[in-house]
Amino acid sequence: MLDPADTLPADRTVPHMLRRGAERYGQRPLLRAGDEAWSFAEAPGIAARAAGRFAAAGVGPGDRVAMMCGNRAAILECILGCAWLGAIAVPINVASRGLQLRHILGNSAPRILVVEAAHVAALATVEADGLDVAHVWTVGDAAGALGAVAAAPMPPLGEAVPPASVRPGDTFAILYTSGTTGPSKGVCCPHAQYFWWGLITANLLGVRDGDVLTTPLPLFHSNALNAFFQALLSGSTLVVLPRFSVSTFWDTLIETRASVTYLLGAMVPMLLSRAVSEAERTHRVRSVLAPGVPGDLQRRFVARTGIAVADGYGSTETNYVIGGTAGSIDPGSMGPVVAGFHARVVDEDDNEMAPGAAGELMLRADEPFAFATGYWGMPERTVEAWRNLWFHTGDRVIRDADDTFRFVDRMKDAIRRRGENISSYEVEQVLLSHPDIATAAAYPARSELAEDEVMAAIVVRDGRPLEPEAIIRFCEGRMPYFAIPRYLVFDPALPATENGKVQKYKLIERGITPQTWDREKAGVVLRR
């Protein structure tokens, strides 16, 4: 078990964690990503030289550096360089496009944008004034003109600079999570939050000194970033896979000699849909972090693989606040509150509800800066979410009599598909920009993978003919591929309140009908 008392509160910063790891674990491998590998001893120097590269380009403490990179060492190099310099990393989902990408860049206002060659085309979906950055650096062979901005290859690592005097509450990264009634919100994650993410998750997963942690999840999300800090604090090795592959997942775990791995809820039924294989039992994996897996699927997964599952509750704004050690929680339950945190289930006026009643989950932390500090450039949203000094999750849960929690549904106007939070607002804004669409509503429809699919109800303008596939093609390049609706339904009007607000609950209750167009059944393949 990792003991928080081993680290002084003032030392819960990324530079200190890097130096602590180097002193304790030396030449032991810390990271493997593709052909690149770092030892614990090398990591502080890499961060210091990455910081030097940014400093030479005019980046200083508090400045933002945005990056659109897949799972390669370069994105961690940039993130750690920012932390060493006191700058703020802004990892962006590589599927971001159009309005969403424009909003993220406009909201965070980065001085530098680092883009992997494979994702440079995404910048073409942003208008020129949405690329107001001093430099666009490319990773790979993609230099040249990008609209009004000239791109150049990312310079080599610079001269090492000393670590900035960052504090545990200083912002380490801005991670964009789905907006609910507006654009995506940039969550301000302080340095100490990732100390607690790494320590708590490692303890609940049973991570041991010398383990191999293998993740197929993207480094621009909190889950995989969390895995890096689990490795850094515990003396383990993090192996970052390029992506999740159903067909090669088990063989890759065997090849990397993984002892711990990470999945999102929808990935479990994907794996279970395949024929039973010997590789499901010849791996060395003890535990998996797999939040949001329905109880029946979790039981089947454990029976087939022998891997203990850690479920629970955490969000980009919070931490691993509800859950238990891997294998200790009944499938379908989120578990109890983790030591150091507090949870309430409340009504619309924040009054605590009796056990067994469904209400909104509110959370608090004992330790300073174990949670995010707010939303970047959105003070009103920050006050709203943290009102009464509790973080309001927007999720409806039930506290059982034994003080464990069960998830019911999301109160927020958001859709979760294949582990991605999707803002229905942002989907609707793209649809409404189509000249032949008068109004539209996006909402979740339940899928065969026990998660949401994106569904949209559309009212065409003046009865104009509009083919469903034409709408899908219009969405491509204007929103992330995972946000493009699977289901479309055409309505003469949308149900609304007296003041004109769309009553989405009626659309959700109606669900999929014989009149619903299904992109997958129609054989329409997305062009990524």
364 and 286 inside one domain: yes
For residue 144, pLDDT over 70 is answered with: no
What confidence score (pLDDT) does residue 25 get? 97
389 and 441 inside one domain: no
Decide if 184 is inside a domain: no
Inter-residue contact 91 to 219 (CB < 8 Å): yes
Decide if 7 is inside a domain: no
Inter-residue contact 431 to 425 (CB < 8 Å): no
Decide if 176 is inside a domain: no
What confidence score (pLDDT) does residue 97 get? 86
Each residue's pLDDT tens digit, 364-373: 999 999 999 9
Q: Cα 54–58–60 angle (5° rounding)?
A: 75
Decide if 325 is inside a domain: yes
Q: How far is CA 184 from the centre of its chain?
A: 12
What confidence score (pLDDT) does residue 498 get? 52
298 and 397 inside one domain: yes
Q: Of 409, 441, 458, which residue sits at a domain end?
A: 409
Q: What is the CATH number of the domain that holds 94?
A: 3.40.50.980
What confidence score (pLDDT) does residue 295 get? 83
Q: What is the mean pLDDT of residues 325-343?
A: 93
What confidence score (pLDDT) does residue 242 get? 95
What confidence score (pLDDT) does residue 475 get? 94
Inter-residue contact 430 to 478 (CB < 8 Å): yes
355 and 443 inside one domain: no
Q: Of 376, 409, 442, which residue sits at a domain end?
A: 409
Over pLDDT 90: what percentage of the chain? Answer: 72
Each residue's pLDDT tens digit, 410-437: 776 668 787 777 878 788 889 988 999 9
181 against 206, higher pLDDT: 206
Distances, alpha carbon 241 to alpha carbons 33, 261, 477, in Å: 7, 11, 26
Each residue's pLDDT tens digit, 443-498: 999 877 667 899 999 999 887 889 999 999 999 988 988 999 999 999 998 887 55
For residue 160, pLDDT over 70 is answered with: yes
What confidence score (pLDDT) does residue 147 get? 55
393 and 438 inside one domain: no
Distances, alpha carbon 283 to alpha carbons 39, 85, 134, 241, 304, in Å: 25, 40, 47, 16, 12
How far is 40 from 526, CA to CA, in rounded Å?
A: 41
123 and 248 inside one domain: no
pLDDT band at 181; cut points 50, 70, 90: low
211 and 291 inside one domain: yes
Decide if 41 is inside a domain: yes
222 and 143 inside one domain: no
How far is 441 from 427, CA to CA, in rounded Å?
A: 8
342 and 212 inside one domain: yes
What confidence score (pLDDT) does residue 450 get? 66
Nearest to 479 by CA among 82, 66, 27, 103: 103
Q: What is the CATH number of the domain that holds 478?
A: 3.30.300.30
The count of structural domains within the chain is 3
What is the biggest distance separating any 2 CA atoms in the chain, rounded to whole angstroms? 70
Q: Residue 199, Cβ neighbours under 10 Å: how many? A: 25
Q: What is the mean pLDDT of residues 157-163?
A: 97
Inter-residue contact 104 to 96 (CB < 8 Å): yes
For residue 159, pLDDT over 60 is answered with: yes
152 and 199 inside one domain: no
Q: What is the CATH number of the domain that holds 321?
A: 3.40.50.12780
Q: Of 347, 381, 409, which residue sits at a domain end?
A: 409
Decide if 42 is inside a domain: yes
Decide if 4 is inside a domain: no
What confidence score (pLDDT) does residue 174 get? 98
Token pair for residue 248? 């090669």
Amino acid at site 422: I
For residue 108, pLDDT over 80 is answered with: yes
Decide if 525 is inside a domain: no
Q: Determine the structural domain holding residue 105 and report its residue range.
A: 13-166
280 and 381 inside one domain: yes
How far is 60 from 489, CA to CA, in rounded Å?
A: 50
Token pair for residue 392? 């309001």
401 and 430 inside one domain: no
What counts of helices (H) and strands (E) characterise the chain? Answer: 13, 27
DSSP state string for 89-112: EEE--TT--HHHHHHHHHHH--SE
DSSP state string for 227-282: HHHHHHHHT-EEEE-SS--TTTHHHHHHHHT-SEEE--TTHHHHHHTSPP-GGGTS
pLDDT band at 145; cut points 50, 70, 90: low
E-assigned strands of 356-390?
Answer: 358-365
What confidence score (pLDDT) does residue 301 get? 94
| pTM: predicted TM-score of the whole model, two decimal places | 0.86
Amino acid at site 360: E
pLDDT band at 269; cut points 50, 70, 90: confident
126 against 182, higher pLDDT: 126
